[in-house]
Amino acid sequence: MTTVSDINTIKSKETTLVQLWLFFYVFSFFIPAINLDIGFSLKIFMPLSVLTLLVFFNRLKLNINTTDFLWVIFICLGFVSVSLSIDLEKGFRLSLGALIIYFCYLVFRSFLFYCVERNIKVESVFLVVALIFSSVSLILYFIGLKSIGINVLSFEGQRVYGVLVDRAIPRLIGVVQDPNIFIYYASIFIFYFGLKKQKAFLDILCLVLLALCCLLTVSRGGLLALILVFSLVFINSFFRFLLRPKFTLSFFAGLLSLIVFIYIAVLFLSSVDDVISIIERRLSSAASGSGRFEIWINGLSLWQQSPLFGIGWHNFLYYNSNFFMRDNYAHNTFLEVLVETGIVGFTIYFLFFLSFFYSILKVINSDSRKIYLLFTFVAMVLMLNNLSLIISEATFFLMAVVYMSLYKIKLSKS
């Protein structure tokens, strides 16, 4: 005969297994460098999503909301634009990638809903995932530095373990494939731990490791986005302090941390180029945004050729290479969307982000502790102005956490 104690033991074991599954599932989103090229990058979270759907099939709720609907419309429009473009192969591959990541997002979000129903705190795995993410990235970086040695110039443009040599500077890429995109991935952890009111020692350690990783990426755009958003955080705290003056330790610790981070970032970026020839190259690239301004002008001229529906999804690189002799992406996601899918596609993409933003505001209105979601979103939007990242699992990971939070609020009210 099964007793109440036996039932509770079984439930406890099931909860432990779900928590372990949650950890591996979350972690799989933050190791994009581990992938298999099968015409597109098959990343670990993709087969894991299929496995999750099979294992938890009867317990998952694959519902669709307004933000999802807008993304599906955008994918459909992108797919149609590809059929009218020159580089069909790349366009169809991006369309396939967008569908795969959207499917993975739906499964992951549904799994988070299931975790909420079992009273499992999803953010509880953030600490372990962030510690592994940052520490492994640093280890790979220093292994890469050791492999490169003093022959930095001979490794120009190469990835060596956790290092990318870019204009004679060893930049951290860690478990991501690009130093600029690394900060994009790290941002949700940075703001989660940075805005956490009661920080334990491991929280602070994690934040320090993440900050060090971000500094070692030497990403001007990424670091600037972090500085700007943390400045907004401080301004928000300052005005709240004026309304209700309260000299707390956390207020002064936050102010001091912001000042120290900005100082170290500026000092690091200004002193990292200790060779005159490297300084000249970095200054010349900085003056033109590493050539971005010229790329953006080229992009606008391409958009004028087909302003309504664009030149075709994932065709910017082809046009820029063949017509302007620049083998570069747009380095601006919103401009790339405008050029490739026209005003129609850009409008839908903008509405997608607007709906996403509105959902975050709904979460914060009910639970102010989730303010980190808003600042992560703002930082990501700022970074997208310097990145070509139309589809990214990091964006959809944030979306899943946002809608998981809304679902949790809904359950608490019912």
| Torsion sign (Cα): 126, 128, 129, 132 | positive
Answer yes or no: is 9 within a domain. no
Percent of the chain with pLDDT over 70: 83
For residue 114, pLDDT beyond 70: yes
Give the sheet arrangement for strand 159-160, strand by strand.
159-160, 163-166, 169-172
* pLDDT score at 5: 55
Q: Which residues contact 271 (CB under 8 A, 6 or more apart)?
A: none
Number of Cβ atoms within 10 Å of the Cβ of 75: 21
More confident residue, 157 or 274: 157
Answer yes or no: is 13 within a domain. no
d(CA 70, CA 288): 35
d(CA 83, CA 69): 22
Number of Cβ atoms within 10 Å of the Cβ of 66: 13
Per-residue pLDDT tens for 282-329? 444 444 445 677 888 887 888 888 888 888 888 887 777 777 766 677
- Number of domains, the chain: 1
Structural domain of 156: 18-413
Assign 35 to helix, strand or coil: strand
More confident residue, 305 or 396: 396
* pLDDT score at 268: 52
- Average pLDDT on 102-123 reads 93
Q: Which amino acid is at 224?
A: L
Answer yes or no: is 4 within a domain. no
* pLDDT score at 28: 96
More confident residue, 163 or 273: 163
* pLDDT score at 253: 55
DSSP string, 47-89: HHHHHHHHHTGGG------HHHHHHHHHHHHHHHHHHTSS-HH
- Average pLDDT on 372-385 reads 93
Answer yes or no: is 5 within a domain. no
Answer yes or no: is 7 within a domain. no
d(CA 328, CA 346): 21
Answer yes or no: is 1 within a domain. no
d(CA 82, CA 76): 10
Q: How far is CA 318 from the centre of its chain?
A: 25
Arithmetic mean of pLDDT over the chain:
83
Per-residue pLDDT tens for 130-141? 999 999 999 999
Answer yes or no: is 153 within a domain. yes
Per-residue pLDDT band at 266 (split at 50, 70, 90):
low
Answer yes or no: is 8 within a domain. no
Query: Mean pLDDT lowest for which of 31-35, 66-70, 308-312, 344-348?
Result: 308-312
Residue 212 buriedness (CB in 10 A; 0-12 / 13-18 / 19+): middle
Residue 1 buriedness (CB in 10 A; 0-12 / 13-18 / 19+): exposed
More confident residue, 331 or 174: 174
For residue 278, pLDDT beyond 80: no
d(CA 82, CA 310): 10
Q: Which amino acid is at 64?
A: I
Residues 295/330, Cβ–Cβ less than 8 Å: yes
Per-residue pLDDT band at 166 (split at 50, 70, 90):
confident
Per-residue pLDDT band at 239 (split at 50, 70, 90):
low
